[in-house]
Copies of this chain bind each other. A is one copy, B any other.
Amino acid sequence: MTYCTAVRIDAGLVFLSDSRTNAGVDQISTFRKMHVYEVPGERVMVLLSSGNLSLSQAVASSLRVQMKQATQPRRVENPADSAEQQAMMDEGRNLATATNMFSAARIVGETVRRVHAREAAALKEYGIDFNINLIFGGQIRGEPPRLFNIYAAGNFIEATPETPYFQIGESKYGKPIMDRVVDGDLSLDEAAKCCLISMDSTMKSNLSVGLPLDLLCYQTDSLRVTRQALIDAKDPYFASLRERWGAQLRKVFSELPDPAYWD
């Protein structure tokens, strides 16, 4: 299982992902689910993935290959590229050249569709759904930061002031705290704290969501990655946050008046 969440606030964007992958309970591994695409001073984009790992890795690396080849003076023809991939590369459409985040989200969506065209039928023969769900956000110079949720069909929705965050994977345990706290006025650090508490609630209730965590806080208009942390079991801040949040919650609980329906 997976839990990833991202928040769009005035101060920027916060991305948080766990790294546990499992196929059954006896095959558990650690894979990073955060992929960063950066052209320093010009654009920063972050992709969080849930679903079938082979599919999300295919999408993430395909996006990177497109970017890389675009920066080479002459692209090397690769006979393994699909016609659509070649067409996209010929048109020079990739995350490095997209003129705005909406176009970038479309490129991610098209890449998902290409992976679908290549993989879905074979997976279906084994009874495996084409299961992928992505959060994609960032900023391209000249635009404010934007945040998207991209589905398996390649279509997507964008975060708005009313719904400023997205969750993918095991989202329910960690939703109540997001609903109560997330607000456009939060500072980047506060939004990160909220995501970490939401992750803690999820990890407590679902063993298949686990450490280490990737946290990235993007500051509006910085156009480069300056705040990124890998949070593991020895991380003192996260350990203290988990303990204090739990203790304070129990304290608030005990201080609230008991029901008096039958006194």
Seen from chain A, the residues whose Cβ lies within 8 Å of a Cβ on chain B are 172-173, 175-177, 179-181, 187, 189-190, 192-194, 196-197, 201, 204-205, 215, 217, 226-227, 229, 237, 240-241, 244-246, 248-250, 252-262
Identify A187's interface contact among B180, B229, B253, B258, CB under 8 A.
Answer: B258
- Least CB distance from A196 to B in Å reads 7
For residue A201, which residues in chain B have a CB less than 8 angstroms away from its CB?
176
Contact B175 A205 (CB under 8 A): yes
Give chain A's interface secondary structure class: helix
- Nearest B residue to A174 by beta-carbon distance? B176
Given A181-B250, A227-B261, 9 additional A-B pairs, CB 8 A: A177-B253, A180-B249, A181-B249, A189-B258, A193-B259, A237-B260, A237-B261, A241-B256, A241-B257
Contact A175 B173 (CB under 8 A): yes
- Least CB distance from A15 to B in Å reads 13
Identify A253's interface contact among B197, B205, B229, B250, CB under 8 A.
Answer: B197
- Least CB distance from A249 to B in Å reads 6
Max count, chain B CB within 10 A of own CB: residue among A237, A241, A252 = A252
The distance in angstroms between the C-alpha atoms of A240 and B204, with both chains bound, is: 28
- Knowing A176-B173, A176-B205, A179-B205 are in contact, say whether A256-B248 is a contact too (CB < 8 A): yes
Contact B172 A262 (CB under 8 A): no
Identify A179's interface contact among B192, B204, B227, CB under 8 A.
Answer: B204
Identify A262's interface contact among B229, B249, B257, CB under 8 A.
Answer: B229
For residue A175, which residues in chain B have a CB less than 8 angstroms away from its CB?
173, 205
